[in-house]
Amino acid sequence: MSCMKSLGPEKLAVLSSLIAVWIAQGLDTDEIDVLGNFISAVGASLSTIAAQQEKQQSQQDREKKKKEIQKQIEQLQEQLKKL
């Protein structure tokens, strides 16, 4: 999937359109509709997974930052005690 990252947005749009036209060949309207809805559902699920992963990563980053700040506070408190 790394090749998808290197495609510009315009090329990605053209590619998706070409794939849709290719897949639709030989299908009737109902089959195209069902397949389109299925692919949309897959896309929605992928978006949900990506959003949850991003949220979890953000939480982990905040927890890490919080621990680092707490450690710095403790170090400063120790330095103040020495003064």
pTM: 0.66
pLDDT of residue 1: 65
Rounded Cα–Cα distance for residues 59 and 43 (Å):
24
pLDDT tens for 47-62 read 999 999 999 999 999 9
pLDDT of residue 23: 96
Structural tokens at position 60: 């982990």
Residue with tokens 């979890």: 56
E strands, 35-76, are none
